[in-house]
Chain A
């Protein structure tokens, strides 16, 4: 076997550009390209202020998309996230308006915990319907998408739900508008959520199980992995991420309505796909997802700053991006 051993030696020391997975690099290359295009379109674009603004505004989608990365990596899909934002945010504001706790700080703390619990519960419902109920995730979450949206409309009686306590408002405002060490809080939270998510997906037993279930659930089952539990937990993680996005959303406007979070599922799934996660499961890229969310917001920003495309076309543009991203992903399937 001397021939074999020689080739073992020679290849293990040679790492060429061909070993780089293009799908992992593509979103970052696209981001660099967009920054160049943006700078050409409008010199103000590349300024730190504008970019920080863009990053802050993509926070909701970025955080939701981190959760979607788990669900999609496990081979499922959650269409209900946009409605879930509206529902959880409405519940949270109603809770704060109820005045059951007099002290504003305590009230806010309780409301935060309440929102996190509500998000987790919504995610758990999605998870149990898909796994225990054995309903395709597409249909299950299409159903809950209608349910969460409908409940929001009912709670708001078709109008808006607004945070009334001025004291709580004042206390809560910095959560979106403040900054720590010069970094706007939403950006800090994106980075924190992503770091934790990356750790879970790449460095824990659960993360390995998610990828195994997503790439082949039979192999996972024969390896003694509790497939349904892994999938359900992914939905719960999605719900928690939605709750974190809500915690940033409520202080921004202090109000929700039946149209809150419309089409956010499209943006979240687009961010995941642009980031290089395979839609059929089995390969999750958390940092790519964040990059994808940023790209989406940048495209909107460039359209706003430029004069040749109407900003009313942003939705159409985002729809086009997900299709283009799928085409690019397919053409980049690693050839080795």
Chain B
């Protein structure tokens, strides 16, 4: 949309002086926000800046403590629990809300099934599902079970679900976090098309380049306060990042330190195969940061889980400091000093309904056991230390993990894994869905761990991350390691060539 028409377009949804407190802790301070008809409006801010809360208030999932919401200029109280969909306000959740046992078509029409003479019109619903999926360039079968889909495909189904509801306002919370570049392109094309037909979008994302590419205007929040709203055209990535952090960004990545070539090899993986991973071999030296890049579904996580003993392997050897690790034995791997940090912090990493202490020490309770019982003082001391070491900022020390921001959850998960004092740490997607400030902190933590002499494997779908952190980068494609890059070879183009199958290393 060009700037002139944007200026004159009517305001669909407006927040006026919205404040919100949870249990006496204020998280939004008199925030203003307006969304015009037919615009894509980015909502930016660090984790804990109040973006998610504002989105929840504007979609009716939370009620503001004070201030008012205007829909088409008239004050409204939005109905709770997604009932605002009836007003054309739809939210695409970051977490998936799909029933695993339904088919794609059933999910799309869940709660608004189409009937003919009282009987489900399955043919119509399937055709309609096909049409919406095609719009998104999504090749998933309308009859496929949700449980059979990949994470990216589930995300596309969520998006299709929202789009098929003839929404006037769509909130998208990190929609591209799990999508490949190609899928993202399809999504953006469709979002632009709908925008041109008058639908308004609120786009919450940490990917600055996507914000610049897609959005018309940007609103930045910081510490629960409104900072700025401006047309995207007059901003660039650097200036948005500065507004979010409120300070000049020093370099995002710490300086790389390369280990000596004759440094001890601590981890050796020899022709490891699982159902999907084929013949993967690599080694990691003491103090080294090795990256694993590749498309989503290229088998990186599966390989790492097999190395960590969370998954059994069909063949191949894993050796830690010369000692073989039996297949599918997490304990054996842990005992030899290897730890795996999952990319799925909500489903596999943290007990969301437990507090920080229970989460932090879950993997290392032995350290706090005195004569068979758990010593609360020792656990409290560990938490105090971890909070300082990893800068976990929470307002209430008894908060449950669910209530923490994504960045703080990620730091807590890293702290939890580090409690076992591993020598080799596999970090899967170290910064998924967290803000730029916390990312920078986590990069520095990783770098500091490597300088301490620990070895780190970083699995990441964000290429800048792998390039900025690692001294060696393995590229995977369809279950195989197809490239191993070093030094100057590590560049986005080169990784892409391997990941896309244009190039592969000559078998040694």
Contacts and interface: CB of A to CB of B under 8 A. Distances in A.
Interface string B358-369: 100111011001
Contact of A18 (B23, B26, B348, B350): B23
A199 interface: yes
Contact of B24 (A11, A212, A215, A224): A11
Contact of A208 (B23, B310, B365, B395): B365
Contacts of A328: none
Contacts of A39: none
Given A7-B25, A336-B22, A215 B365 contact: no
A11 B396 CA distance: 6
A7 B22 CA distance: 12
A8 interface: yes
A283 B372 CA distance: 21
**Binding site secondary structure of chain A:** helix
B393 A204 contact: no
Interface residues of A, number: 33
A204 B353 contact: no
- For A8, A223, A336, the residue with the greatest tally of chain B CB atoms inside 10 Å of its CB is A223
Contacts of A222: 310, 340, 342, 348-349
A4 B351 contact: no
Contacts of A205: 365-366, 369, 374
A205 B373 CA distance: 7
A203 B363 contact: no
A336 B23 contact: yes
Interface in B322-377: 330-331, 334, 340, 342, 347-354, 358, 361-363, 365-366, 369, 372-374
Range of interface residues on B (Cβ < 8 Å): 35 or more
A281 to B, nearest CB: 11
A109 interface: no
B353 A11 contact: no
A10 to B, nearest CB: 8
Given A208-B365, A215-B351, A219-B349, A3 B223 contact: yes
B397 interface: yes
Contacts of B342: 222
A12 B351 contact: no
- For A216, A222, A226, the residue with the greatest tally of chain B CB atoms inside 10 Å of its CB is A222
Given A8-B395, A208-B358, A218 B347 contact: yes
Contacts of B361: 208
- For A11, A12, A224, A225, the residue with the greatest tally of chain B CB atoms inside 10 Å of its CB is A224
Contacts of A283: 353
Contact of B373 (A1, A4, A14, A204): A204
Given A1-B393, A18-B23, 16 more contacts: A3-B223, A7-B26, A7-B395, A8-B396, A11-B23, A12-B397, A14-B24, A204-B369, A208-B358, A212-B351, A215-B352, A215-B353, A223-B363, A224-B330, A336-B23, A336-B403
Q: Which 6 pairs show the lowest CB-CB distances between chains A and B? A: A205-B365, A223-B363, A203-B373, A218-B348, A222-B348, A224-B330
